[in-house]
Structures are given as structure tokens and as C-alpha cells.
Amino acid sequence: MPNKTFFWFFLPTGLAMILFIGLPIISTGIQSFYAQHDQVVKEVKKCDPFGCTVSIVVDQEATSVLRDERPLGKFNGFGTYVDRNHLAIEQISEFWDETDTLGDFIDQVTNLPFYKALLFTLTYCLFVTPNVLLLGFIIALSLNAISRKIRGPLIFGTILPMIVTPLVGSLVLFWMIDAEGIIGANLQLMMEDPYLSLKSSRTLTWITIIIYGIWHHSPFAFVVFYAALQTVPQEPVEAAIIDGASRYQRIRHIVLPHIYPVVTFVALISLMDNFRVFEPIIGFSAEGSAQSLSWLIYDNLVNEEVILFGSAAATSMMTIIGIAILLAPVLIRTWKEFRTAR
């Protein structure tokens, strides 16, 4: 496609992307550099059905003057980024001085909300993405080898986890693994431990969420791989059979190289998706044991009675940077291949 045609072809999408993705990101970025004005409070008498007390309220007149002057708030630079609830630079250097062993230091650092969330997010990515790729590929291969008559219903069954809304899927599992639920209660019986709970142990919660993630994301990889498998040319495969290549060898040397670009694509998309893991945490009510970066943003925006826009914006920006770093190796590789292809 000539570049000019491509430009006109891409223009509408590009404009929509700038309007709905680009500009909001810029606005979020700007917001992350601002904090609320210093609160002007005053002492007043408050009376309710249980009696009167003297306590403080925000002085609206004084505050509205400040707000009108600078509606964005107080410029804070990278203040929000480095505070204790985000990168916690100060705290980390303190820990470094205070702790004796590396283990202690890591314990202290992963106790900070941002690093706690980052640790879970990365663990989730690390376990879910390769397993999704592997499982999706195996399912695609198996289904591809099955008689065409039963393939349709089987494919439908396989992509069910993707059709089910993530929240519903996780809620169903949530009730099953409850200490009174079918899986939870049976596990207690099997282990002969009435205090065993999948939901109260951090490790078990992580494992549950990771397994759920694999279950939920595999169909996507499967669908893409299955489509790609249909394009594998039959001649080289047949030639390989005649040469006596085993099934493993055929997959390793013919099928995989052929669908390699698709594997990269699926890996990219899953990495991005998994880095933003969020729904299972809500669905499993796992906030206590597992927090992700996306959950931190959500927490700042809705779980507080006061909305922490600055905090949420800073975490959003860092999530974007995090995704960019994760994807960088794959993107660089794709770019290099693109250049050599030309």
C-alpha cells in the first residue's frame, strides 16, 4: 500500500485515537503533577441527633478563592510520584540504611503499596502469559487434528471462558472456593484442616487468580492460533512426513516458524492485558491479599470518600510506562524484522 493511501485510510482511526486515547492520557499526565490546594479549615459547632461538638470543617470561602485562582490545584511536580504510596524513594533509601540483610530489605520494600502491587502484577504476567500461549497452542493443535464433524461444538466449548464476562466467571469460582463452597469445603475435608481457606492465604489467593487468568485468556490465544494453523501449507508438512519427521519435529520446524508472527502478536496482546489485571481481584474480593496496579488506580478513584485524582493519575502514567517497558523487547524485535524485510 502506498504511504499516501495508508495515510488516508488510517486518518479516521488516528483522529479517534488522538481524541479518545491520546488527549485523555495527556490530561492524566498533567493532572499527575498537581495536588490539592492546602485545605483551609476552621472550627465550627456541629450538632446532630447525638449532641453538639466543636470540630473542624473546610472553609469553603477561602478554598473557593484558591480554586478559582488555580483550578488545577497546587503544582507538585514529581511529588506524587515519589511519595510513600508510589515510588517511595525516601522510604526505600531509609530501608536500605536500616536493614541488615537483603531479604529484610525486600520484605520492607514489598510492604509498600506500589511495590506490593507491582510484584503481584509482574508475577501474574509472568505466569499467565507463557501458560496462555502454551495452552492455547496445544488446544489449537489438538482441535486441528480432530474430525471436522465434532470440531464446531468443541470450538464453541473452548471459547466459552472468553464469552463469560470476567466478573461473572470469577464470582462463580469465588463462591465455589469459599470455605462453605463446594471446592473449599471439600479441600478442607481432604486436608482434614477446618481452618484451611483458599481466600485467606495470600499464596493460595495468588494461585487461584493466576489459574483463573490462564483459564480466561487461553481461548483468545487458541482462536488466533487455530486460525493461523489453517494457513500452514500442506506440501512441506507432507514432505516432512515422507522424510520420516515425527509430529514434534514437524511442529517444531514447520508449523512454529510459519505462525511465528502470530505468536508474537498474541504474546504482545496478552502481556498488555495481563499487566492490567483487575477484574479477578474484584470478583474474588481479593483486595486483602492481591493488589495490582490497576486496582490501585481504582482504589484511589472510588474506594476513598475523597477522590485522589493526583495519585490515580500518577499510577496510571506509571502503568503506561510499565507496559511500554514490558513490550519494548518485542516491539524492537518486530521493528528490526520490518526493517530487514524491506
Q: Whole-number minimum distance, CB 304 to other proteins, in Å?
A: 4
Q: Whole-number minimum distance, CB 73 to other proteins, in Å?
A: 8
Output 131 or 289, the one with its CB closest to other proteins: 289
- The owner of cell 510484584 is 119
- The owner of cell 493532572 is 31
Q: Whole-number minimum distance, CB 149 to other proteins, in Å?
A: 45
Q: Give the Cα separation of 173 and 208 in Å (integer).
A: 9
Burial of 323 (0-12, 13-18, 19+ CB in 10 A): middle
Output 43 or 238, the one with its CB closest to other proteins: 43
- The owner of cell 483486595 is 287
User: In this structure, what C-alpha cell is assigned to residue 15?
Assistant: 483522529
CA angle 185, 186, 190 (to 5 degrees): 120
Q: Whole-number minimum distance, CB 197 to other proteins, in Å?
A: 3
Q: Of 80, 76, 89, 78, nearest to 115 (Cα)?
A: 89
Q: Whole-number minimum distance, CB 306 to other proteins, in Å?
A: 5
Output 8 or 195, the one with its CB closest to other proteins: 195
Output 59 or 273, the one with its CB closest to other proteins: 59
Sign of CA dihedral 64, 66, 70, 75: negative
Could you give the count of Cα atoms lying within 13 Å of 224 in the half-sphere of its Cβ? 22
Output 36 or 264, the one with its CB closest to other proteins: 36
Output the CA–CA distances (angstroms, integers) from residue 80 to 298, 308, 312, 317, in the order listed: 17, 11, 10, 11
Output 300 or 319, the one with its CB closest to other proteins: 300
Q: Whole-number minimum distance, CB 95 to other proteins, in Å?
A: 12
Binding residues for other proteins, per CB under 8 A? 35-39, 41, 44-51, 55-58, 60, 63-64, 74, 76, 80, 83-85, 91, 111, 113, 174, 178-180, 184, 194-197, 199-200, 202, 284-289, 291, 299, 302-308, 310-311
